[in-house]
Amino acid sequence: MLTSADIRDRFLRFFESQGHTVVSSGSLLPGNDPTLLFANAGMVQFKDVFLGVEQRPYSRATTAQKCMRVSGKHNDLDEVGPSPRHHTFFEMMGNFSFGDYFKRDAIRFAWTFLTQELGLDSDRLWPTIYPSDEEAFDLWQQIAGIPAERITRLEENFWAMGDIGPCGSDSEIMWDRGPEYCTCNRVDCSPAQEDCGRWLEIWNLVFMQFESHEDGSQTPLPNPSIDTGMGLERVTSVLQDVDNNYDTDLFAPIFERTREMAGHNADAMRANQTAYRVIADHSRAITFLIADGILPGNEGRSYVLRLILRRAARFGRMMGLTGPFLAETAQAVIDTMGGHYKELVERQDFIKQAITQEEERFLATLSTGLARLDQLAAELEAKGETVVPGEEAFRLYDTYGFPFELTVDAAEELSLTVDRDGFDAAMSEQRQRARAAQRFAVDSQGAFYRGLNLRKTEFVGYSAGNCQTTILSLAVDGESRASASAGDTVEIVLAATPFYGESGGQVGDCGALLAKTGEARVLDTYRPLPDLTVHRAEVRRGTLSISQEVTATIDRERRLDIARNHTATHLLHRALRQVLGEHAAQSGSLVTPERLRFDFSHLSPMTPDELAEVERTVNAAVRANYTVSTATKAYDDAVRDGAIALFGEKYGDQVRVVSVEGFSTELCGGTHLDATGQIGQFIITGESSIGSGLRRIEAITGRGAYEHLRTQLDLLNHASARLGVKPAQLIERIDTLQSEMREQRHLVQQLESRLAASSVDDMLGRAIDIEGIAILTEQATATDVDTLREMCDRFRDKLGSAVVALGAVINERPMLVVAITKDLIQERGLHAGKLAGTAAKKMGGGGGGRPDMAQAGGKNADKLPDALATIPDLVREALA
């Protein structure tokens, strides 16, 4: 029996033998498509190739691609578990032609692989086609010898990656599971009965011919191409002769690890079938997502990860797993699939740590949240209602960490539904959620420039700071122009440019364009398409015209500042991995002339010692003056040689490798120094959290570092001069002054206490009587709240059965302290916290505390007397 690993390997080797280049799986983060939440098909990493805006050194490719489908039309998470074949994460094996072969060879390859390589019974393979695709209809008969009556025409045989992008008719290959699986009970049962359990789709051949646009229109692609996808899980179930995907060797190890932890026998496993499936499916998804640099959070992809992790944890809890367990099932995933997906093994410690941290966070509130849902169910039943209000669902999310979908799951078990509209209203500030079919912003600038069909920009900026070039395009306010005049803000495309277009976190270059008839100042540079550079510029003098020759010159000093910061990010990345561990992978960056910002994966704040060690490591590399070199390599060769590739970044087959001699090697298209010594100095200015499991370091180099040190030194010298000591003695002098201040503050408190004691008799005489209770309200003189509380204690002890309210203006802010004797709390129901909180509203504040003593503050010191004056009336109301 073939294993899933055997099937994957046979697929890739077969297509390699047919002239296809084996391409590694792209990341689950679609780096080249802002419209997708995740890579949802094998062709995602080739989208720009299909669109004709990217060229590869091959015209045929084959992959085993990691995929996720949990959004839009695929967002049926509740099917995962009950369904025998529905998954969040799955593998899609595919073969692709980029303007090379088309329908004939696609059908021939598929038929040969299925019947000869895998040995499937040809009589049980039934193709389906788009109704009007006569070419495919004829080819299936010619190549495979399929009788016409076994070729089914289906309207749904048209595939699109999303609402916009490549699309075309397709031909699905169905596997006949046998008449015993028929659920339609029709004598003419065929793939036309798409819901019939007899038919299993195992391969989809997409004949990519068009591009869909936002307005619903379609235009032909530059070259008809092929995109196919065969689900590894499904074809494995066929070859291993099991009824569902979960009985294959892809899931069995996860089931076994779960069974061991739960202490179940075979009967208990069957009784908890849905839970086992959910845990197995979600364990694969969360393992691969974290391996690709995604961490649990409240937005977008991070929200999806949090949702499925917590859903798996809840199902585990339902079948008796009371503690964190998902790190163990993730290990089973790593053991099963790490042979092919090396990133799982490389990051396994971090993957399990991130999973456990999130699981512990959720389990801490799970019981309380479920108890609240049970309480809601009882309340609704008493009212004869069955809908959980949206605001209550939001409260479960906000207080207990229940994603909306999880609340729906739990409510369904209690025969309840949930008010989605009400939840969305309560979540108005956080609407970007996975189930809302989230769509990322579409690049309209890219569409504009794609329509101009301009040739690729030649970038000469790695080796030159200026060049002679020609203007290819001018645009003002999104409209093409033949020329631009002084005062115009214009977008300019050049045939060649030394200007680096903003990408990879590095900002675009600035500089000047000089022609015989005019000049322009380049304000920014960006790349709306992978191979096209656009210069945003302001025409300062004369005119510029299409086809005119210009001299393009970058701002060299600004470029050097950027290069200092960019090379420093590479040193910082390596230093973080050395100090914190290899999990500290870059998740984002910003490189400007003034500073650098570096985001990375780490589950806890860095300690001062860790920050100091990172800074020392980087500066040691700066002083070593390592040579910085670049080379162009094949992507697979570069990664094999140890180059770091960033998660979610889109790379071509040929990549630029930036190496810092003996220290770091990364894939990077940015501009860098010739040697690390040119950085000058590296200073970390901040470290902070930017989300669950994500940290950010901000730093400065070169001129910015010098100015920072100069400013700090000036402050040190100024402070030392003010205190009359040498800089080395400054801390000692500050410690002495602080000690003296504490002593004087203590002395002031003693004097205030004595003064208060001396006026006790006068104040006691001003107490009033309300129903046998002594009420004393006074504005006192005090420098802190502790003194005010001490005075309240003294008066309360002397008055017997009493309510004492004292106020004072402390640091320009009104403060109020209320004290009540115990007998009034127990026998009369008075509460100091309620009195203080209500009275404080008079001075624009609030507060509260214990029944016997409480304090409150306000904003308006002038209203303190009014607040004190309300106390007697509040006591009367409380006694009524």
Identity of the amino acid at 382: A
pLDDT at 320: 86
Break the chain down into helix, strand, coil percent, rounded to 5: 45, 25, 30
pLDDT at 434: 37
3-state secondary structure at position 97: strand
Q: Which CATH class is domain 559-709?
A: alpha beta
The rounded distance, in Å, linking the Cα atoms of 545 and 532 is 19
The rounded distance, in Å, linking the Cα atoms of 826 and 829 is 6
Whether the pLDDT of residue 15 is over 90: the answer is yes
- The packing angle between helices 608-624 and 556-580, to 10°, is 130
In 506-643, at which residue ranges do the beta strands (DSSP E only) sit?
511-514, 518-529, 532-545, 549-554, 586-591, 596-601, 628-634
The rounded distance, in Å, linking the Cα atoms of 368 and 791 is 42
pLDDT band with cut points at 50, 70 and 90 for residue 442: very low
CATH classification for the domain delimited by 765-879, as one of 3.10.310.40, 3.90.850.10, 1.10.460.10, 3.40.50.2300: 3.10.310.40
The per-residue b/e assignment along 439-454, b for 16 or more CB within 10 angstroms, e otherwise, is beeeeeebebbbeeeb
Q: Which helix (H) or strand (E) holds 129?
A: strand 125-129
Average pLDDT, the chain: 89
pLDDT at 436: 37
The rounded distance, in Å, linking the Cα atoms of 259 and 50 is 45
Whether the pLDDT of residue 214 is over 60: the answer is yes
pLDDT at 864: 93
The rounded distance, in Å, linking the Cα atoms of 757 and 752 is 8
pLDDT at 422: 86
How confident is the model over 630-640, as pLDDT tens digits?
999 988 889 88
0.85 exceeded by pTM: no
The per-residue b/e assignment along 849-880, b for 16 or more CB within 10 angstroms, e otherwise, is bebbbbbbbbeebebbeebbebbbebbeebee
CB 803 within 8 A of CB 830: yes
State the virtual CA torsion across 705, 711, 717, 719 in degrees, nearest 10.
-130
Residue 768 has φ and ψ, to the nearest 5°, of -110, 165
Whether the pLDDT of residue 820 is over 60: the answer is yes
CA 585 to the chain's CA centroid: 14
CB 501 within 8 A of CB 533: yes
The rounded distance, in Å, linking the Cα atoms of 587 and 566 is 15
Contacts for 270-276: CB closer than 8 Å, 24+ residues apart:
272/319, 274/81, 274/82, 274/315, 275/81, 275/315, 275/316, 275/318, 275/319, 276/246
The per-residue b/e assignment along 541-580, b for 16 or more CB within 10 angstroms, e otherwise, is eeebbbebebebbbbeebbbbbbbbbbbbbbbbbbbbebb
pLDDT at 370: 80
CB 205 within 8 A of CB 229: no
pLDDT at 550: 97
CATH classification for the domain delimited by 444-453+466-554, as one of 3.40.50.720, 3.30.360.10, 3.30.465.10, 2.40.30.130: 2.40.30.130
Q: Which two tokens stand for residue 29?
A: 């983060």
How confident is the model over 250-289, as pLDDT tens digits?
999 999 999 999 999 999 999 999 999 999 999 999 999 9
Q: Which helix (H) or strand (E) holds 620?
A: helix 608-624
CB 376 within 8 A of CB 388: yes
Mean pLDDT (whole number) for 188-214: 89
Whether the pLDDT of residue 757 is over 70: the answer is no
Whether the pLDDT of residue 429 is over 50: the answer is no
CB 494 within 8 A of CB 457: yes
pLDDT band with cut points at 50, 70 and 90 for residue 525: very high
CATH architecture of 4-241: 2-Layer Sandwich (3.30)
User: What are the sequence ranges of the domains in the chain?
Assistant: 4-241, 266-436, 444-453+466-554, 559-709, 765-879
pLDDT band with cut points at 50, 70 and 90 for residue 880: confident
Count other C-beta atoms under 10 Å from residue 46's C-beta.
25
pLDDT at 441: 34
Whether the pLDDT of residue 437 is over 50: the answer is no
pLDDT at 373: 84
How confident is the model over 711-744, as pLDDT tens digits?
999 999 999 999 999 988 999 999 999 998 988 8
Environment class of 74 (CB within 10 Å of its CB; exposed 0-12, middle 13-18, buried 19+) = middle
Mean pLDDT (whole number) for 854-872: 92
How confident is the model over 21-30, as pLDDT tens digits?
999 998 998 8
Q: Which two tokens stand for residue 750?
A: 């003693």
Mean pLDDT (whole number) for 164-176: 90
The rounded distance, in Å, linking the Cα atoms of 47 and 212 is 12
3-state secondary structure at position 660: strand
CB 500 within 8 A of CB 461: yes
Q: How many residues does the chain have?
A: 880
Whether the pLDDT of residue 163 is over 50: the answer is yes
Only one residue has tokens 């912003």, namely 441
Closest CA to 167 of 41, 64, 59, 69: 41
Q: Side-chain half-sphere of 52: how many Cα atoms within 13 Å?
A: 18
Environment class of 119 (CB within 10 Å of its CB; exposed 0-12, middle 13-18, buried 19+) = exposed
Mean pLDDT (whole number) for 689-698: 88
